[in-house]
């Protein structure tokens, strides 16, 4: 995974802003052309986070400057979603063996987490 500073070194803000603008359109369902500063900041962080999670080969392309920011975001987003699904699958397998050892609070806490899924 790349660092935040690596992403911002590879992609200047003027390359990332169009990606954030597209996300803002999705966020507002194209009903509004403006988002708050805080929302835009969160979207920018999401874009940088996803780009930072590019796989090794994709990171090399980004470093070589051949991968546009929008494509880097899309590939990074897919990597993040894949990692999330993988983690969810591992969690579900672990829950098959869960034992609360008679501790009601432990059982209730884990039960509440399981319901969130």
Domain contains 98: no
Domain contains 96: no
Angstrom distance (rounded) from CA 95 to CA 13: 43
Residue-level pLDDT at 114: 64
pLDDT band at 10 (very low <50, low <70, confident <90, very high): confident
Q: Is the pLDDT of residue 23 over 90?
A: yes
Residue-level pLDDT at 115: 61
pLDDT in tens, 81-99: 999 999 999 988 888 888 8
pLDDT in tens, 30-74: 776 688 899 999 999 999 999 998 877 776 776 667 789 999 999
Number of domains in the chain: 1
Domain contains 49: yes
From residue 78, alpha-carbon distances to 52, 59, 81, 109, 111 in Å are 12, 14, 5, 31, 29
Asked if residues 68 and 41 have their Cβ atoms less than 8 Å apart, the reply is: no
Instruction: Quote the distance between the C-alpha of residue 58 and its chain's center.
Output: 16
User: 54 lies in which domain range?
Assistant: 4-85
Those residues whose C-beta lies under 8 Å from the C-beta of residue 90, and which sit 6 or more positions away, are: none
Domain contains 40: yes
């Amino acid at each position: 995974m790349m660092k935040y500073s690596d992403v911002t070194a590879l992609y200047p803000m003027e390359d990332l802003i169009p990606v954030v603008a597209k996300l803002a359109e999705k966020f507002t369902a194209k009903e509004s052309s403006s988002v708050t500063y805080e929302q835009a900041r969160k979207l920018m962080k999401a874009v940088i986070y996803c780009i930072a999670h590019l796989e090794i080969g994709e990171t090399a392309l980004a470093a070589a400057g051949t991968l546009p920011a929008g494509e880097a975001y899309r590939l990074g987003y897919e990597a993040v979603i894949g990692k999330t699904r993988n983690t969810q699958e591992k969690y579900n397998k672990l829950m098959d063996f869960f034992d609360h050892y008679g501790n009601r609070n432990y059982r209730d806490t884990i039960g509440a987490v399981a319901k969130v899924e």
